[in-house]
Structure 1
């Protein structure tokens, strides 16, 4: 059963890689190239983007009023997010080397590239970058916590959970006590062997 689960996880990983390849090919169709962290569109595409851009004044007039009313609340969340970001970095940089766990690459999860889209005005770019930061931060935090859980308690829950992290499928079944501590050491050893695995751009 464990081998079957691992096989399914490997298949999911392979499908994710295939999806990433397909998305990259779609980028080629949309005629843009990646140069480091910059996204470069062909001139004809950039010109087409600029033609559909809504100016700032028109955007302010036509934007839904409730979006302006709730804006202080939404952007007020930047404070706890920045604090979380700081403490996540502090935690993994101090503790992961002690545990023998590879540190999570923050840049693999926090991707800010919507500012290169010419069809977005200044405020729209700001919104997109803020959302990208929030979503990326949560993914970054999830991976840090997932590696921590694998080190300390790689046990599934009795009930089905939604949106489980990518490591959860291979965890030990709830109530399966046989050889638990030996298997726990196996999970910990696997963490130490993961150098470079799953990182963006790795082979």
Structure 2
């Protein structure tokens, strides 16, 4: 069952997402050019803006310091999840002929290089970059798996959808599901991100 309005909205969203990505990249390139031109000036500014480690610790609320071990305790399960999901896709995706998700497209580690961050802020940026990238990586693997096995939209409204969800069949549309599932599986063989 086709819905032209939904297809039009999806196309507009994709266009806006591409435009946003392009604009963010342009801003980054402008920033990079600016850094190249004014490298020494920028580095000196970063050194001035870097908060002293002892001042940082002394001004951090005590509850933030006490909660840090709780935040960091999630790292071990995250590493285990990373390992298992990566093994899962390496073993199963070739069997299903699903193109593998490139981990490096999702887990981007670069903010720790910013000179205005002190060592603790850099470590925190490493953690956040890894953890949020991992969640996006896992969501893409799960989305491709869901597209292969059960590409059916939920009856209830979702707060957040993964990148594959818009392609899924409407809840209760058994005809489209039976007729179109093979086509959705074929799409997974030739994903171009």
Say whether the fold is shared (TM-score over 0.5).
Answer: yes
Give the whole-Å Cα distance in 2 for the aligned partners of 1:48 and 1:168.
45
Partners of 1:31 and 1:45 within 8 A in 2: no
Give the whole-Å Cα distance in 1 for the aligned partners of 2:114 and 2:6.
41
Alignment of 1:7-156 (within 5 A): 7-32=8-33, 42-156=39-153
| Cα shift readout 1:118-142 (whole Å, capped 9, x = no counterpart) | 1100000001110111100000000
SS at match of 1:178: helix
| Unaligned stretches of 5+ residues in structure 2 | none
Partners of 1:111 and 1:136 within 8 A in 2: yes
| Cα shift readout 1:70-89 (whole Å, capped 9, x = no counterpart) | 11111111010000000010
Look up the match of 1:178: 175
Give the whole-Å Cα distance in 2 for the aligned partners of 1:32 and 1:120.
21
The structural deviation recorded for 1:27 is 1.9
Identify the range of structure 1 (174-183 vs 98-107) with the bigger mean alpha-carbon deviation. 174-183
> Whose helix fraction is larger, Structure 1's or Structure 2's?
2
In the superposition, relative to structure 1, how do residues 153 and 122 fare at CA in structure 2: closer, same or farther (>3 Å)?
Answer: same
Corresponding residue pairs, total: 192
The alignment yields a C-alpha RMSD, in angstroms, of 2.1
Give TM-score scaled by structure 2 length. 0.92
In the superposition, relative to structure 1, how do residues 62 and 99 fare at CA in structure 2: closer, same or farther (>3 Å)?
Answer: same
Give the whole-Å Cα distance in 2 for the aligned partners of 1:191 and 1:182.
17
Look up the match of 2:162: 165
In the superposition, relative to structure 1, how do residues 8 and 134 fare at CA in structure 2: closer, same or farther (>3 Å)?
Answer: same
Give TM-score scaled by structure 1 length. 0.87
| Cα shift readout 1:20-72 (whole Å, capped 9, x = no counterpart) | 211122123334589xxxx9983222221111110111111111111110111
SS at match of 1:175: coil
The structural deviation recorded for 1:4 is 4.3
